[in-house]
Structure 1
């Protein structure tokens, strides 16, 4: 559990240290206005502002589909992902932000209980954990007259050790991902519709080209492929400091390698539905909780549930 404290709770302490500072404005006065409605993912930061997001997702499954859409039972598998994002505004027009993203993962297999993922064990049988990817990232608002449309582009670099005999930890891919955001507030500022369209490309060595005695072939299944998740969120604001939402996502994973050239040529898709809420704890810090259920899938897609907890500091 010491490893868990080191890797997961230290960033929370960092966020806590920011609260006292960011509760004051430039004159040292307390600020009361909430950021939940103002700073949606579509909205960029002003020059000199900072945005730190610490998001944790725990996905667990006991069912998956076969090559088609037939469901089968499997021993429980659990995948924990911590994603930390740090951005700052760099343009006077508030239309360009730059940042850095990194991910820590912990997976368990063979029927291990869900919360055992938090032990952060790493062995060659039923558990794997570690820092997996780092990424430079940029956010852009391309049109000055459309302030609620923006995109974020990141290039994820795998940094974890390649272990041939170990269970799956993460994709062994260089991953270029661009997310497009748009939101619309209506109903006397009580409702908001938020949409997201992602376009991602996985690059890397073909699975068939890897050395099975030295490389983890299972982590190369996604190389030379494209992923297209489409998401929509409908939010209601009971107050300026809180919101509840429902969401839906349809995602397509498309392998474009030529199978005759020993490419991966692997494709799958899924549909997920969920709900959640956010609350503004202070001017600096808000908390988010959510739940998602993978209600259908095709081609070895897991049919599990994701429980998420996020903290965001804006100052």
Structure 2
């Protein structure tokens, strides 16, 4: 983990040196203007670290009924994202995803995961790394953008089929396409929409009659309130269906509430988010605790 952080900091430092020496004009930044639908200006860069802890002691069955489990399953994701502004309509970058899993008794704490053990019930690994591109397809629609990320699986046997360790992540090449759009409502409120088709390409051959390609299409809506020029609050609703046999093989709805605060105005922002899985089909019935940081220069 320390090596990963050092590599990321080195890349950011190198990019900073390039942008300082380049003749590109970098304007002052109002971080609240940089919603996910807005691209970075030429020479600007952004680094995000989003930490997600998911924990569950229940699941939704095929009929949508909530069933209690005998064990607690915990999953942690540290999603590192870097973007660089090539132009006001084109940004490029990369993602690095680090994941952990820990399975314990129903009475155990979700925080037991952060001991990062490596045994038959626990595992930590780099689950994916890959390039991303973000662009604005229409000049007259500055609040509409498309981001495409291709994640290459790094660790072996992420699904734990042969290594005697628990399921960590889908053992697939993942192509994520995110369509972003936001609509300001006056000066204090904003609606943000996201449609994000995910395509999964299994790394290993599957059983006879089982496709190596899978598809899901989450849809998200956020409603934000900008209390001041440094702090904002939002509510989130996300529906995530996965398609297969039958047509929608699994799905869940998660609802949440979060806030963002600029620790250093115009430079560093912190985020906290809580979500709960309220409806589902062949899916977990858990909750998430999230902390994120965003650095823009």
Structure 1's 277 and 35: CA in aligned 2 closer, same or farther, altered over 3 A? same
Aligned partner of 1:156 in structure 2 is 151
Per the alignment, do residues 17 and 276 of structure 1 end up closer, same or farther by CA in structure 2, a change over 3 Å counting?
farther
User: 1:84-233 alignment to 2 at 5 Å?
Assistant: 84-91=80-87, 94-111=88-105, 112-123=108-119, 125-162=120-157, 164=162, 165-187=164-186, 189-204=187-202, 205-208=204-207, 223-233=212-222
Matched-pair contact (CA < 8 Å) for 1:232–1:248: yes
- Kindly indicate which of the two structures has a greater share of residues assigned to strand: 2
Tell me, in whole angstroms, the C-alpha distance in 1 between the residues paired with 2:59 and 2:137.
40
What is aligned with 2:63?
Answer: 68
Residue 120 of structure 1 deviates from its aligned partner by 1.9
Looking at structure 2, the residues matched to 132 and 113 of structure 1 have their Cα atoms a distance apart, in angstroms, of 24
Q: 1:101 to 1:150 in 2, by over 3 A?
A: same
CA displacement 1:204-263 (0-9 Å, x = unmatched):
245426xxxxxxxxxxx994211110000000011111100011011111127xx9xxxx
Give me the whole-angstrom Cα distance separating, in 2, the residues matched to 1:266 and 1:83: 27
CA distances 1:24-64 after superposition (whole Å, capped 9, x unpaired): 9xxxxxx986412x100000011111000011000000100
Q: Does 1:240 align with 2:239?
A: no
Residues 86-121 of structure 1, C-alpha deviations (whole Å, 9 max, x = no match):
010112xx0000000010011111324211211222
Output the TM-score relative to the length of structure 1: 0.81
Alignment of 1:24-43 (within 5 A): 34-36=30-32, 38-43=33-38
Q: Cα gap change, 1:7/1:236 in structure 2, threshold over 3 Å: closer, same or farther?
A: farther
Q: State the distance in 2 between where 1:63 and 1:312 align.
A: 33
Does the 8 Å contact 1:15/1:313 carry over to 2?
no
Distance 1:173 1:102, change over 3 A: same
Determine the structure 2 residue equivalent to 1:28: none
Determine the C-alpha separation between the residues in 2 that align with 1:268 and 1:206: 22
Gaps of 5+ in 1: 25-30, 210-220, 260-264
The whole-number CA distance in structure 1 between the counterparts of 2:213 and 2:55 is 27
**Is residue 2:39 matched to residue 1:44?**
yes
The whole-number CA distance in structure 1 between the counterparts of 2:198 and 2:116 is 28
What's the offset of the Cα at 1:15? 11
Distance 1:309 1:222 in 2: 36
**What is the distance in 1 between the residues matched to 2:149 and 2:177?**
6
- Aligned residue pairs total 280
* Residue pair 1:106, 1:121 contacting (<8 A) in 2 also: no
Shift of 1:312: 0.3
Mapped partners of 1:108, 1:236: distance in 2: 36
Contact map agreement 2:29 2:267 (CA 8 A) in 1: no
